[in-house]
Homo-oligomer: A and B are copies of this chain.
Amino acid sequence: MSYYEKHVFFCTNQRSGGKTCCANSGSIEMRAYAKKRIKELGIAGAGRVRINSAGCMDRCEEGPVIVVYPEGVWYTYEDEADIDEIIEKHLLKGQVVEELMI
């Protein structure tokens, strides 16, 4: 079994020169929100869920992006409602949120 049942990586990379990047699309704030929510839900920690920041995952134009492992499912998101949906469906119930997949 994986050390984390769901290991979620938010790209929080900041690119220079006005290039498209996840950090300019609110990824730092959305990652903080996700981290807070899984703590509130009591599902944070070893054996459960980890919300990580990550450097550039090289899918900038499709971003902001996250990837959920071990499944390797990639999502984009716009706001807290999208993050809530990923948490409630994917992280809690193991259901892929198809409309947010990239």
Contact = CB atoms under 8 A, between A and B. Distances in A.
Interface of A: 1-4, 7, 9, 12, 45-46, 50, 52-59, 67, 69-72, 74
B57 A55 contact: no
Contacts of A1: 72
26 contacts: A1-B72, A2-B72, A3-B59, A3-B67, A3-B72, A3-B74, A7-B67, A7-B69, A7-B72, A9-B9, A9-B54, A12-B55, A46-B58, A50-B58, A52-B54, A52-B56, A52-B57, A53-B55, A54-B54, A54-B55, A69-B69, A69-B70, A69-B72, A70-B70, A70-B71, A70-B72
Nearest to A46: B58
A52 to B, nearest CB: 5
A51 B46 CA distance: 23
A53 B50 contact: no
A9 B72 CA distance: 13
